[in-house]
Amino acid sequence: MRILLLVITLMQGSFVFAQGSVVKTISLEQLIIYVLEKNPELKNFDLESGAIAARIRQAGLTQPYNLTLEAGGFSGSGAYEGGGEQETTISMAKVLELGGKPGLREDLARYEGMLLQSELDAKRLDVLSTAGLAFIQIVEKQENIKILNDKLEIVKKTYGMVKSRVRSGRGSMAEQQRIEAQLADAELELLHTKHSLKAARLQLATMWGEARTDFGEAKAELFLLKPVEDFEVLLTRLEDNPDLVALNTAERLSASRINLALSRRLPDIELSGGVRTFAATGEQSYFFSASIPLGTGSRSRPFRDEARIRSHQAPINYQQQRLALHAALFRVYQELIHARDAVEIFRSRIVPLAQKSLDKYLSGYAQGRYSLFELSESQESLLSARQRLLSSAANYHRYRIEIERLLGSTIATGV
């Protein structure tokens, strides 16, 4: 069974690790491989995969031979008093399973194993998706810190202008106090974001089993948006979704259960044979026996009924899940397109216009043509536009990861 592994190729990027005194830079793809190798949960999945393989081998085992040693006549009453009629019997017995039961059991265990493997594949995708989302979150926070640093510099510059106006008698102390409060608020917002970044970095480090953040800055082209494929093209890949793969396997599993239940109609025959030795004369006799259970046909009927009923559930569940995934894919795809359009509009129109507006307000405020309130509003408008641009770009990559998770495979990005 093919193991579905999500390789996050959303952004051209790198990650800087410190291993002892050696600083190692790896790509985002290599980071995902590192998570695959070191993540404790994924290691447990690998052990479970080994257990599944062993379970399949167990199911295919046939009934063992039974060797029996029986000794009698050592003591008794009457003619047997004193053990005069001692005898020893050695026999070999074997249960012959008719109807190909061992092979059918192995097939059933194999499909059960494939079903469990699909669940493990889905969990692997969840882990790798979480790693990709954590990476994007770190990059977004780093970029937001740059914006907040710019905000702090703008407020500081405005604070200097206000103080100058107050000293010259053209401004009021209320304006100075207001800008001082804005300055403190900007410093507090920047400090909070830095603390939040530290927590996000540690969260990512736990993905490979570390409790400390021995790595540098996450670098990625967050504003580099790869082309989006048509929805119909993505829809053709939906069959690779682990949930649908599991339901496909469940349908084959139901058929395997039916075959095994049908095989129960044929009784298993126990054959045994051996040699009996009489101690008094030294003579031997050979014997053979066969044991056949009765009523196996009627006893197998409930198993057949259950298997057939469950076989009708599989295609219904598959169709229902596929419709749900179709709707989810369409919803996320629309969000992806919207995020891309938002990035383009913010980048080409809103941010440049907000920057030009702020430049005019700064010049006009210095000349006394605008109030501090108008200047502050213009500053907030630019900073808000830059943050919304950043958020839209980050969301674009988040939606791509979510689409990859739904498809169970990677989207071609050209990286």
Please state the rounded mean pLDDT for residues 110-138: 82
Range from 102-111, 188-197, 251-260, 328-337 carrying the lowest mean pLDDT: 251-260
Alpha carbons 282 and 412: distance in angstroms, whole number: 83
Mean pLDDT of the chain: 78
Please state the rounded mean pLDDT for residues 154-170: 84
Q: Mean pLDDT highest for which of 66-70, 71-75, 105-109?
A: 66-70
Question: How many C-beta neighbours within 10 Å does residue 245 have?
Answer: 22
Alpha carbons 265 and 193: distance in angstroms, whole number: 69
Residue 6 has what pLDDT? Answer: 38
Alpha carbons 249 and 115: distance in angstroms, whole number: 6
Q: Would you say residue 263 has pLDDT above 90?
A: no
Alpha carbons 415 and 404: distance in angstroms, whole number: 15
Beta strands in 232-338 (DSSP E): 269-278, 284-291
Q: What tokens does 328 get?
A: 């989810």
Pairing of strands 87-96, 219-220: unpaired
Q: Would you say residue 382 has pLDDT above 80?
A: yes
Span 321-358, pLDDT tens digits = 888 888 989 999 999 999 999 999 999 999 999 999 99
Residue 79 has what pLDDT? Answer: 57
Buried b (16+ CB within 10 A) or exposed e, 162-182: beebbeeeebeeebbeebeeb
Q: Would you say residue 135 has pLDDT above 80?
A: yes
- Indicate the pLDDT class of residue 392, thresholds 50, 70 and 90: very high
Residue 414: CA count within 13 A, CB half-sphere = 6
Question: How many C-beta neighbours within 10 Å does residue 218 have?
Answer: 26
Please state the rounded mean pLDDT for residues 97-105: 74
Q: Mean pLDDT highest for which of 166-180, 296-310, 312-326, 369-383?
A: 369-383
Residue 81 has what pLDDT? Answer: 59
- Indicate the pLDDT class of residue 236, thresholds 50, 70 and 90: confident
Distance between alpha carbon 184 and the CA centroid of its chain, in Å?
42
Domain ranges of the chain: 13-74+86-407
Please state the rounded mean pLDDT for residues 94-116: 75
Please state the rounded mean pLDDT for residues 275-290: 79
Cβ neighbours for 85, distance < 8 A, ≥ 6 positions apart: 73, 76, 79, 278, 279, 280
Residue with tokens 């500053």: 379
- Indicate the pLDDT class of residue 409, thresholds 50, 70 and 90: low
- Of 82, 79, 83, 91, nearest to 284 by C-alpha is 91
- Indicate the pLDDT class of residue 259, thresholds 50, 70 and 90: low
Buried b (16+ CB within 10 A) or exposed e, 352-371: eebeeebeebbeebeeeebe
Q: Mean pLDDT highest for which of 6-15, 127-136, 193-202?
A: 193-202
Alpha carbons 85 and 276: distance in angstroms, whole number: 13
Inter-residue contact 45 to 85 (CB < 8 Å): no
Q: Would you say residue 216 has pLDDT above 60?
A: yes
Residue 101 has what pLDDT? Answer: 72
How many residues are recorded in the chain? 415
- Indicate the pLDDT class of residue 13, thresholds 50, 70 and 90: very low
Instruction: Please indicate, yes or no, whether the overall pTM of this predicted structure exceeds 0.85.
Output: no
What CATH code would you report for 13-74+86-407?
Answer: 1.20.1600.10
Q: Is the dihedral of CA 352, 354, 356, 358 positive or negative?
A: negative
Residue 381 has what pLDDT? Answer: 92
Q: Would you say residue 4 has pLDDT above 50?
A: no
Residue 100 has what pLDDT? Answer: 73
Please state the rounded mean pLDDT for residues 301-314: 70
Alpha carbons 279 and 323: distance in angstroms, whole number: 78
What values do phi and psi take at 225, rounded to 5? -100, 115
Q: Mean pLDDT highest for which of 8-12, 15-19, 80-84?
A: 80-84
